[in-house]
Amino acid sequence: MKRILALLCMAMIASAAIADNHIPTYAAVETFGCKYKVDKNAGDMAAWASKWNKQAEKIYSEPYRAMMFTPFLTNPVDQPQDFYWVGVSPNFAAQGAIQDEWNAKGGKVAQELTTTVDCDSHATWAMTTVRSNENAAPPSSGVATFQACTMHEGKTMQDLKPADAKMNVFLDKIGQASPMWRWWPISGQRSASKIDFMTIAGQSSLKQKGASMDNFVKNGGLQVRSSI
């Protein structure tokens, strides 16, 4: 497993209607990697997102929750983007319907985005839940920590389930409430990428993230993870 790739601050932009306000166990995710144009910034993007939200509520026939992920801990090789737009749908049929509707009906709002940002990557992922918490809905802002991971030789997805169960028992024991997901690459990733999945942990703030890290280490989490 590779070490932490990036720490991203997550800001909820908007959402079209979602049946139940929690991230499902299985979902379809799309990501856009974007850079601001000259003299444009996050304020301009937030203004556009407000217009997008109104348009999405009119034209989207399926649930879709959108977030902006802004890099916090970065390096210029692995993290060239100013932000990532992340959209979550309950399944790939819903994701495809939304993409069709945006392509057909995005209109002026879609065109306005090109005056604010350049988005040079578009990828899709399957998201599975490794660890949930009691929150009924994701927070309006928070922190997400990404790890790029690879399977050991001879290991498969089936081997992850008992390992996750053991780790979750340990995390329950030490009082770690942070949720965790895996993103499995589907389409649009770099051809040179060798990762099997991304692991994402969520916290409400940088302080909570730091406290979770301290708690994990002090209670022998590194040793437990190695043994599992």
Read off the pLDDT of residues 212-227 as tens digits, 9 standing for 90 and up.
999 999 999 999 999 9
DSSP of 56-117: HHHH--S--EEEEEEEEE--TTT---SEEEEEEESSHHHHHHHHHHHHHH-HHHHHHHTTTE
Read off the pLDDT of residues 106-162 as tens digits, 9 standing for 90 and up.
999 999 999 999 999 999 999 999 998 876 667 788 999 999 999 999 988 889 999
Least confident of 19-28, 40-49, 116-125, 142-151: 19-28
Please give the pLDDT value at position 9.
44
Bridge partners, 88 (sequence order) = 29, 65
Q: Does 16 have pLDDT greater than 60?
A: no
pLDDT (mean) for 38-46: 95
Q: Does 1 have pLDDT greater than 50?
A: no
Please give the pLDDT value at position 224.
97
What percentage of residues in the chain have a pLDDT greater than 90? 73
Number of residues written out for the chain? 228
pLDDT (mean) for 53-61: 95
**pLDDT level of residue 11 (50, 70, 90 thresholds):** very low
Which residues have C-beta within 8 Å of that of residue 26, sequence separation ≥ 6? Answer: 90, 91, 126, 127, 128, 129
Computed over every residue of the chain, the mean pLDDT equals 87
pLDDT (mean) for 9-38: 64
Please give the pLDDT value at position 25.
65
pLDDT (mean) for 173-178: 93
Instruction: Give this prediction's pTM.
Output: 0.85
Q: Does 18 have pLDDT greater than 50?
A: no
pLDDT (mean) for 174-183: 93
Domains defined along the chain, listed by start: 4-227 (3.30.70.100)
> Largest Cα–Cα distance in the chain?
55
